[in-house]
Amino acid sequence: MARQSISFTKPNDEWLKNQVDKGEYSSKSELVNDLIRQTRKQQLEIDWIRAKLEKAEKSGFTSETKEDILAQSKSLLTDEV
């Protein structure tokens, strides 16, 4: 694993310490890695939605129901984890 040295503002450092103290995470490194994973997953979701919107804008109307679209979205979220 790559080792990094990073600095945090005082409020962010205190928040990180509080999360570790509560037992949510075993270390600040574990917490930072989890935050990065969550952000990467969110970005994948945003990119997927953006691509769907761009495709929809170019193609006009869809014959899919809102239930179909919702099911596809949920499927993507569970498949990407």
pLDDT tens string 7-59: 999 999 999 999 999 999 999 999 999 999 999 999 999 999 999 999 888 88
Q: How confident is the model at residue 80 (pLDDT cuts 50, 70, 90)?
A: low
- Total domain count for the chain? 1
In the block, tokens 């179909």 appear at 68
* Per-residue confidence (pLDDT) for residue 29, from 0 to 100: 95
Domain enclosing residue 35, as ranges: 10-80
Q: Is residue 4 in a domain? A: no
User: What sections of 1-81 are H helices per DSSP?
Assistant: 10-21, 28-59, 66-80
Q: Is residue 41 in a domain? A: yes
Q: Is the pLDDT of residue 67 over 60?
A: yes
Q: Is residue 69 in a domain? A: yes
